[in-house]
Structure 1
Amino acid sequence: MPPLQQHYLVITALGTDRPGIVNTITRHVSSCGCNIEDSRLAMLGEEFTFIMLLSGGWNAIAQIESTLPLKGAELDLLIVMKRTNAQEQPATPTTMWVTVEVDDSPHIIERYTDLFDSHQMTLAELASKTQPAGPQSPPRLTLSMTAHGPAGGQVLLIEQRFHQLCTELHAQGSIRVINHPQHQKRDGVLQ
């Protein structure tokens, strides 16, 4: 018997945080026969958001699509769902992890995302958190990002520009670069 074809569904749930709500959602997902391939949870003010990539056979995905809106209504959650496909992982010879701490002001995150975008780096993750101002200090922004992209001379240039941007913004920042050996060039050929 051939293996069942996997189907994929992205779900976003948004609502007021309360104990047990994530467990209730994950239990419902499991009861429908779906598997959680990837997920993220974030607290934003008094709200939480939960993003999941689910996989399962056609029947399991159809069941979650038909029952999750009712479960969301019971829990007073806004639910958004979208069918998707498994993503082939493209060759990403370079991965960069960035952390920044800086006095918060408009356009800070944009400046860092633009840096990677202008060098054809794909942002895979971005998380930011602003700490409120203290009696003697302004609000502070903590930012972390993961980006993937091509190997080559761009890496040194991006590192240089990252450090220049940190200096310009009076930010504490670090950048860690991993060149994946299976994608490095050997004798002019991409391995």
Structure 2
Amino acid sequence: MPQLDEHYLVITALGADRPGIVNTITRHVSSCGCNIEDSRLAMFGEEFTFIMLLSGSWNAITLIESTLPQKGAELDLLIVMKRTNAQYQQAMPATVWVKVEVKDSPHIIERFTNLFHCHNMNIAELVSKTQPAKDDTPPILHIQISAHSPASQNSSIIEQAFAKLCTELNAQGSISVVNYPQHDDRMES
């Protein structure tokens, strides 16, 4: 649970990958008195991107905001920062996970993100990777998506829409839907 005096900052660092770069960034974060609440690191070509949610006192967050641009310049990194607030996890009655393998072409990912949009679901995570073409095999796109629904839904509706889209795109896909029971505080009075 977030503390009231905690402040939060989202940082994205982008640059050429090299040994020790992530350690240099995390050491700088720690030296400013910030805590890494959440992070993701990914490689894209020869570049890496490191995304972090930091927490700390007002002084610690202000210190990292004022010193990280210089550290980024020294490391030849593009740095983007934005203050944010702690997010309390809203109860989500349904969570959906999908995995897809499909011949790569433009608009494929957009078609699957639109599926969730049309069912009023919030995408929480999206990972995609294209496996390059080999011999007579075309490039294959692998997609993983997890999404949440703020309202209970009949799982067969999203499952059928997903199956229809996979058929239309000649994709191999799997879907898993979990509906969580909702707790109603009014019942306890």
TM exceeding 0.5: yes
Assess if the C-alpha contact under 8 Å between 1:8 and 1:53 holds in 2: yes
The residue that corresponds to 2:35 in the other structure is: 35
CA RMSD of aligned residues (A): 1.4
Distance 1:131 1:167 in 2: 21
Cα displacement (A) at 1:152: 2.4
Q: Distance in 1 between matches of 2:100 and 2:161?
A: 14
Could you list the structure 1 runs, at least 4 aligned residues long, displaced by more than 2 angstroms after superposition: none
Equivalent residue, structure 2, for 1:152? 153
Instruction: Tell me how far apart the structure 1 counterparts of residues 4 and 95 of structure 2 sit (CA, whole Å).
Output: 33
- Note the residue ranges of structure 2 that are not aligned, 5 or more in a row: none
Contact 1:4 1:57 (C-alpha < 8 Å) held by counterparts: no
Runs (5+) with no aligned partner, structure 1:
none
Flag the 1:179–1:38 CA change in 2: closer, same or farther, 3 A. same
Separation in structure 2 between the aligned mates of residue 141 and residue 4 of structure 1, nearest angstrom: 43
Structure 2 CA distance for partners of 1:30 and 1:152, relative to 1, 3 Å: same
1:80 counterpart = 2:80: yes
> C-alpha distance in 2, partners of 1:184/1:118?
26
By how many angstroms is 1:4 displaced? 6.3
**Which residues of 2 match residues 26-175 of structure 1 at below 5 A?**
26-149=26-149, 150-153=151-154, 155-175=155-175
Identity across aligned pairs (percent)?
Answer: 71
Question: Distance between the aligned counterparts of 2:177 and 2:20, measured in 1?
Answer: 38
Alpha-carbon separation, structure 1, partners of 2:122 and 2:44: 24
Is the counterpart of residue 178 in structure 1 residue 178 in structure 2? yes
Secondary structure in 2 matching 1:115 = helix
Contact 1:40 1:51 in 2 (8 A): yes
Q: Across the two proteins, how many residue pairs are aligned to each other?
A: 182
SS in 1 for 2:49: strand
TM-score by length of 2: 0.92
Which whole-Å CA distance do the structure 1 matches of 2:163 and 2:153 have between them? 18
- Contact 1:104–1:139 (CA<8 Å) still a contact in 2? yes
Q: Answer whether contact 1:166 1:173 (CA < 8 A) is retained.
A: yes
Query: Does the Cα contact within 8 Å between 1:151 and 1:184 map onto a contact in 2?
Result: no
Amino acid at match of 2:44: L
